[in-house]
A and B are shown apart, each in its own frame.
Chain A
Amino acid sequence: MNPQSNHRHAAGLCQARLLLALLCGPAPVTAQALASDDWQFELFADSLSYSETVPIAAWFDELDGPTRRGERAFTSQRLTSGLRHGPWLAQLSSRYDTYLQFNPDTFEAAYRNENDLGLVSGQQYPIALQGEHLRGNALSFGYVGQWQQLEWRLVAGYLRANEMFDGSMSGVVSDDGERYQGQAHLDWVYSEDLLLDRAVSAPTGHGLQSDLWLDWRPATGWHLWLHLDDLFTQLWWRDIAYTQAELDPPASANPDLFDDPLLSGVEGYRDYRQRLPLKIDAGLRAPLWRTMSGGMRLRVVDQQLLPELSLHHPLGHWQFGLSYLLQADAPGLVIGHRYLALQLASDSLDWQQARTLVVNLALQLPL
Chain B
Amino acid sequence: MDVKMKLTADQQALLDGKKGESVAKVMRTLVKYGETFGAEKMVPITGEYGHLVTSFGLSVMKPVYELMDQLIDAGALSGQKFTVDPRPLDPNVPSNFMQNLFFKIMYSKQHDYEEQLKKLGIIDEDSFTCTCYMNEVGNIPKKGDVLSWAESSAVVYANSILGARCNRNSGILELFGSIAGFVPYFGLLTDEGRKATWIVEVRTTKKPEAQILGSAIGMKVMDAVPYVKGLTDFIGTKLNAEATAYLKDFGAATASNGAVGLYHIDKLTPEAVEQGEKLIAKDAKIYIIDDAELERVKASYPCIWKDPDAKPKLCFIGCPHLSAGQLKDWTEKLETALTESGRQKVTIPTVFTTSPAVKREFDKTPEAKKLPAMGVIVSNICPLMYMNNPQCAKMPVITNSNKLRTYTSSRYYTDADILCKITKGDK
The yes or no verdict on A and B being binding partners is no
* Interface of A toward B, CB cutoff 8 Å: none
